[in-house]
Amino acid sequence: QRMIKRNALMRRLKAVETLGSATIICSDKTGTLTQNEMMVSEIAVDGTRYRVTGSGYSPEGDFFIGNERADLNDSLRLVLTIGMLCNDAHVQGNQVAGDPTEAALIVAANKAGMVKDDLEETYPRKKDIPFSSERKRMTTIHEINGEQVVYVKGAPDIILELCTQVLEDGSPVPLHDEKREEILSVYNDMASRALRALAMAYRHLPLKGESRESIESIESIESIEKDLIFVGLQGMRDDPRPEVREAVKTCEDAGIKSMMITGDFKTTAVAIADEVGISGEAITGEELDAFSDEALRERVGSLGVVARVSPEHKTRIVEVLRNQGHIVAMTGDGVNDAPSLKKADIGIAMGITGTDVAKEAADMVLTDDNFASIVTAIEEGRHIYDNIIKFIYFLLCCNVGEIFVLFFAILLGFSRPLIPIQILWINLVTDGFPALALGVDPPEAGLMKRPPRDPAESIFSKGRGRSILEIGLLMSVLVLVAFTWVGKDVDHARTVAFSTLVFVQMAHTVNCRSERRSLLDIGLFSNKYLTGAVMLSVLLQLSVVYTPWLQPLFGTVALGFQDWIIIVALSLIIVGFGELRKWMKALVIKKNN
């Protein structure tokens, strides 16, 4: 329930524990680090750069050249038409069905007065070749004025390779290397300003005899997507989520590295990474392919951005990171992301944009697709693990203390200080409520200032095993002191010992709340559930001491005021011992630092 409140749906319970050990988050860019609300803000066509105004998916906006409102010429209309028709999304008001990138292209055309339904009726689609992460482009074929016209949109560097002509002054001219470099320069400029640019191109299908070649007779995709005429670029802005920069900083403080892995152009990815605070070297999937596994192992720790990646690249990165001992959290939303999600220690699928296949492969689903929710889930994972440790540590200390009481009593030839029903009462009732309350203890301050937990760490790591023995031994000594102090009446002495053990264990709950911080820092009553649980356990203990019909059952007798002074005084000793251990531990840490 706590994870769901943090927008993280856990599909596998083990992932909650693993989250606390995560050392690196490999995150996609679009929608996770950014708001996934694309808006075309710049268009480059026919040698002219247009600025597009507006906000979000509202069709209100204009086109400007500098500060002057621009006329909608044929070239500008063509680049907008291609963006609208070579498109599978639909926009109704602020509601988007489909990819946000395609929605932005529709909205840009809406600002020019174009309506998608009208265009699709006038220029019906006859065939399409869908976008894929490998092809990095989409193609549609439309019937326009009796002709069959191919529209293509996609990554500028990919589209340029398929073009042999470019639109200049409204007419196609040969695409020379100089012009190609000029277009790439415009593209790089857009990318450096964190704009995601898509290129638009077209061609008419060739004549075959007296009629145009039929779509059915086209033998391959290559025969369609060739000899294209380059029209222009549409640059989209997808602003980073405002909370992501702080989340990345929190990761850094917590010893967790953030890495952006995206299909976008390298320059765009680096610009967004700079805005959100992700640092490190940037490479592309092509450069990644050139690395041997050994070379990649040497460099992967310094990487901050990996751009132009395929799903296979994601899987390879996860494998290399895991081989280096990292605990990897990997995000994904597509069908092709399933292998990397399964390979990662924590596969994280997107709840809004993610496919069912990705969600099935993941350990965790983000209900808001937000990087910051991964960080809060990691914080919650650390919190849950800490509380599990507190719960187990408390019960082990109590059980070891009870064992030592009986062991030393037999060893020293004492009468039994505890009878079976008293031990059963302590284990099932008075210990149970405080232990459960420790399981819902508030998170400690500085939870995300600590390095990730070693997955091999156990309840007995970091000196906890020795601490359990020390606390258990001290509990037994205090109980036996109480047992021998109060006199020769066995029932009276046993009642004092019984109550001392309960009160000592209740006092020990405050020691269990933190391994580092003093009770004075934490606050005695900062966990209201623990306060209530201790009070309930004390009242229950008083009931078995003073209720006449329970006294024979539990072998107790009524205690006097002096008895309670002894019991409370002995109980406070264990609090002092716990505080002393924390103080000494702090001195050692300070000395080592």
**What is the domain-level CATH number for residue 302?**
3.40.50.1000
What is the structure's pLDDT at 504? 97
Is the pLDDT assigned to residue 207 strictly greater than 80?
no
DSSP string, 333-398: -SGGGHHHHHHSSEEEEETTT--HHHHHH-SEEETT--HHHHHHHHHHHHHHHHHHHHHHHHHHHH
For residue 321, the model assigns a pLDDT of 93
Q: Does residue 233 share a domain with residue 86?
A: yes
For the chain, percent of residues with pLDDT exceeding 70: 97
Tokens 């621009």 belong to: 70
In a domain, 378, yes or no: no
pLDDT above 90: residue 528: yes
The predicted structure's pLDDT at residue 462: 83
> Given this model, what pLDDT does residue 562 score?
92
List of residues 6+ apart from 219 with CB closer than 8 A:
none
| Structural element, H or E, at residue 484 | helix 464-485
Please tell me whether residues 184 and 328 are part of one structural domain.
no
Q: Do residues 346 and 19 touch, judged by C-beta distance below 8 A?
A: yes
- Each residue of 61-117: pLDDT tens digit? 999 998 899 989 999 999 999 999 999 999 987 788 888 899 999 999 999 999 999
User: What pLDDT does residue 211 have?
Assistant: 41
Q: What value does the mean pLDDT take over residues 117-121?
A: 92
pLDDT at residue 218, rounded to an integer: 52
Query: Averaged over 472-499, what is the pLDDT?
Result: 92
Task: Tell me the CA distances in angstroms from 419 to 27, 142, 477, 486, 560, one per residue in order.
Answer: 58, 90, 17, 18, 21
Last residue of a domain, one of 237, 272, 292: 237
Average pLDDT over residues 24-28: 94
Band the pLDDT of 20: cuts 50, 70, 90. confident
In the prediction, which pLDDT does 539 show? 96
453: in domain: yes
pLDDT digits (tens, 9 = 90+) for 298-342: 898 899 999 989 889 999 999 999 999 999 999 998 888 999 999
* Percentage of the chain lying above the pLDDT 90 cut: 68
Which of 340, 369, 398 lies at the terminal end of a domain, its last residue? 369
Examine the domain organization and report whether 438 and 524 are in the same domain: yes
Phi, psi of 6 (to 5 degrees): -95, 15
Query: Is the residue at 541 inside a domain?
Result: yes
Q: Is residue 92 part of a domain?
A: yes
Residue 376 lies in a domain: no
Given this model, what pLDDT does residue 503 score? Answer: 97
Report residue 176's pLDDT band, with 50, 70 and 90 as the boundaries. Answer: very high
Burial class (CB in 10 A: 0-12, 13-18, 19+), 324: middle
Is 400 in the same domain as 517?
yes
Q: What is the CATH number of the domain that holds 459?
A: 1.20.1110.10
- The pLDDT value given to residue 515: 87
Per-residue pLDDT at 212 exceeds 60: no
Residues 358 and 275 in one domain: yes
Do the domain assignments include residue 111? yes
CA-CA-CA-CA torsion sign (252, 255, 258, 259): positive
Q: Is the pLDDT of residue 458 over 50?
A: yes
In the chain, how many domains are there? 3
Residues 6+ apart with CB under 8 A from 141: 125, 126, 127, 128, 148, 149, 150, 151, 205, 215, 224
- For position 592, what pLDDT does the model report? 78
pLDDT surpasses 70 at 432? yes
Indicate whether 437 and 534 sit together in one domain. Answer: yes
- Band of the pLDDT at 219, cuts 50, 70, 90? low
| Mean pLDDT of the chain, nearest integer | 91
| In a domain? residue 158 | yes
The answer to whether residue 124 scores a pLDDT higher than 90 is yes
270 & 328 share domain: yes
Residues annotated as part of the active site: 28
Instruction: Say whether pLDDT at 209 is over 50.
Output: no
> Is 374 domain-assigned?
no
What range defines the domain where residue 17 resides?
2-34+240-369
> Which of 122, 364, 251 is closest to 114 using CA atoms?
122
The CA angle 34-37-39, to the nearest 5 degrees, is: 115
The predicted structure's pLDDT at residue 585 = 82
Question: pTM, whole model, 2 decimals?
Answer: 0.82
CATH number of the domain within which 121 lies:
3.40.1110.10
At 198 the pLDDT is 96
Instruction: State which of 221, 237, 253 marks the end of a domain.
Output: 237
User: What distance in Å separates the CA atoms of residue 16 and residue 20, rounded to the nearest whole number?
Assistant: 7
The reply to whether 233 and 244 lie within a common domain is: no
Lowest-pLDDT range, 139-153, 200-214, 511-525?
Answer: 200-214
Same domain, 443 and 412: yes
Same domain, 228 and 245: no
Q: Does 462 lie in the same domain as 495? A: yes
The answer to whether residue 213 scores a pLDDT higher than 80 is no
Same domain, 365 and 394: no
* Rg (the chain; Cα; Å): 34
